[in-house]
């Protein structure tokens, strides 16, 4: 059981380049999330999705877009990367029940130079 899988694990981008971070879960969860982790800032919510085809902005959505094309996959796109987007990105998923935990992927370490 793979749980939540993120690809790639590491990426270096030049300023202005675009890329998509991929996330897939095999637990049949409805809710999925994208977070970024920065020193002193904790885990900040970028976007989340309650189900296929629906997405909502989190705390720091600017500069990002997301796609929830099916129940398993939730991708995060940087259209024009900036050095301020250098961070570790985590994807998570969660079952629809009210009182359950979220499961996280291993993270993608992104550096924008």
Report the distance separating Cα 38 and Cα 88, nearest Å.
Answer: 7
Report the distance separating Cα 3 and Cα 80, nearest Å.
Answer: 30
Please give the residues from 29 up to 88 whose contact with other proteins meets the rule CB under 8 A: 31, 33, 35, 40-45, 48-50, 54, 56, 58-59
Is 28 a binding residue for other proteins by CB under 8 A? The answer is no
Beta bridge partners of 33: 48, 92
Give the shortest CB-56-to-other proteins separation in angstroms.
6
Can you say whether the dihedral through the CA atoms of 72, 14, 59, 64 is positive or negative? Answer: negative
* Residues binding other proteins (CB under 8 A): 4, 31, 33, 35, 40-45, 48-50, 54, 56, 58-59, 90, 92, 94, 96, 98-99, 101-107
């Amino acid at each position: 059981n793979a749980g939540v899988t993120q690809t790639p694990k590491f990426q270096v981008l030049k300023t202005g380049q675009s890329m998509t971070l991929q996330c897939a879960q095999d637990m049949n969860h409805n809710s999925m999330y994208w977070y970024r982790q920065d020193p002193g800032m904790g885990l900040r919510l970028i976007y989340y999705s309650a189900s296929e085809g629906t997405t909502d902005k989190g705390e720091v959505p600017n500069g990002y877009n997301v796609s929830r094309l099916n129940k398993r996959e939730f991708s995060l796109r940087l259209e024009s990367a900036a050095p301020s987007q250098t961070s570790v990105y985590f994807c998570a998923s969660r079952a629809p029940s009210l009182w359950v935990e979220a499961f996280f992927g291993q993270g993608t370490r992104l550096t924008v130079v």
